[in-house]
Amino acid sequence: MQKLLFLSLALVLSQLTFAQLKVSERAQLNFNKFNNEFFVLDDSTHYWTQKPGSHRWVKHSFVYDVKHPFKEVMEMTKVLSMAKNRYYFVHESCGNVYELYKDTLKRIDESFPHKNQYGAPMFAWNGSVYMFGGYGFFQVKDVFTRYIPSAKEWFEVNVKSTAMPSRRSAPLFVIEKDQFYLLGGLCRNHLKEIYLRDCWKYDCRTKHWEQLGEIHELLYNKMSIMKLNINLPNQVLLVNNRMIELDIRNNSWSSFENPMFLNMNKIASSKNNKYLMYVLSNSNNPNDLKVEVRKSKYFKEFKVGTYPIYQKISVFKRFPKEDYLWISLILNFLLFTLLFYIRRMHKVRFLQRSQKKLYKSDFSSIEWEVLRLIRNQGEMELSALNTYFNEAGLSHETLKKRRESFVKNIRIKIALITRKPIDEILIESKHNVDKRMKIIHWNEDIELEDESISDK
């Protein structure tokens, strides 16, 4: 009986090891929320798990039932926790799917390596695997694919919203229950890499995309130097000697400073980021990699600050660049129409009578005297004005031209003051008896300033 007890104890101890695991660069790390435990796979015969707070790794044996070499499969796949004690290893470019379940690792799909979605965000929801965008065949994609286990194949997701993110690869993304949050990413334009700044949310239940805004400048400036777990969700990230913790639900991110972050590579967090699992490298020996699990508060002694993840996007930035030309043409057309309308209205107002009283100060003494003469008589012969222009030796034609020029100038001045058409001011007509003579008529609706008032 005592011997049996010792054997049982030895068997249990053989399944345990100390808090550190020595691993290689190809080690697959994951946190299984269904088991509430960390997962590490680095060997074709066994994998390791650790419950947060236990400080002990538990060893699990499994059978490797795959034709391809273990190292090759690990280098081309990423691990996702699908259910309790069930893990998928999915080809990073979309295609092959391997399942670790019931102590056996085997291939379960009937697909092939698509090589079409390298760097695409990969996440599991409701038993299926989803991938969006990525890079393949010399171009960035915006395809949204889904692996359905019952069909053992990949299909395009039938999105119900008209708006959706543009082409991108290697974005920062977070999974929050039924929500898939997509932040930024890389896009190539004329062989130049551009870091996108938009932020989107996809509801897995309603199949709708919603643009939340644009990434805050402080976070956007750090995205190019972040250590991302490519293809996998990132709620905790490393940037040089700082750790960034995302709280997408409250639209905030916090930055913590610690020199240990410089030697960390891969990182995974438990529920609510209470515990962190990370790969720690040795500065003297880069191949000496160890996996540890610690409470995240151990690294949060110095908090740099808390900032928003995204902010509302400007209305003008919502338009695609190719629409700017049409918008510019429409705005120019509207501006031209407005200017034409203003000029037209100004012309109409100009032609409208603004003042019907004439003032002596606006005319010369001779002009004012002639205006008074015509006003007093109501109408008079045009030749009666010759006395104002007649000089010795002056020909009849010259006298006539002077008189006509004088009358024309008076008409222009009155038109400018009263805004009446020139051809309606001091109208001329022929004499009833002698058709050679012209009669000039006074406009009854025009008044002259009272001279007695103006003299004062």
Distances (CA, A) of 377 to 326, 369, 370, 374: 65, 12, 11, 5
pLDDT over 70 at 383, yes or no = yes
With a cut of 90, say whether residue 47 has pLDDT above it. Answer: yes
- Stronger pLDDT, 417 or 41, i.e. the higher one: 41
Q: Does the pLDDT at position 13 exceed 50?
A: no
User: What's the mean pLDDT in 49-62?
Assistant: 95
Side chain identity at 235, as an amino acid letter?
Answer: Q
CA 398 to each of CA 373, 402, 404, 439: distance values in angstroms, whole numbers, following the listed order: 23, 6, 10, 20
pLDDT tops 50 at residue 17: no
Q: Which of 15-19, 274-278, 364-368 has the highest mean pLDDT?
A: 274-278
- What are the backbone dihedrals phi and psi of residue 32, each rounded to the nearest 5 degrees, phi first? -90, 105
Q: Which two tokens stand for residue 300?
A: 């949060």
Tell me which of 36 and 374 has the higher pLDDT.
Answer: 36
Structural domains of the chain ordered from first start: 15-322 (2.120.10), 357-455 (1.10.10)
Summarize the confidence of residues 89-104 as an average pLDDT. Answer: 96
Label residue 115 left, alpha or beta by phi (over 0 means left) and psi (-120 to 50 means alpha).
Answer: left
**Per mean pLDDT, which of 95-99, 310-314, 405-409 is the most reliable?**
95-99
* pLDDT higher than threshold 80 for residue 317: no
CB 196 within 8 Å of CB 215:
no
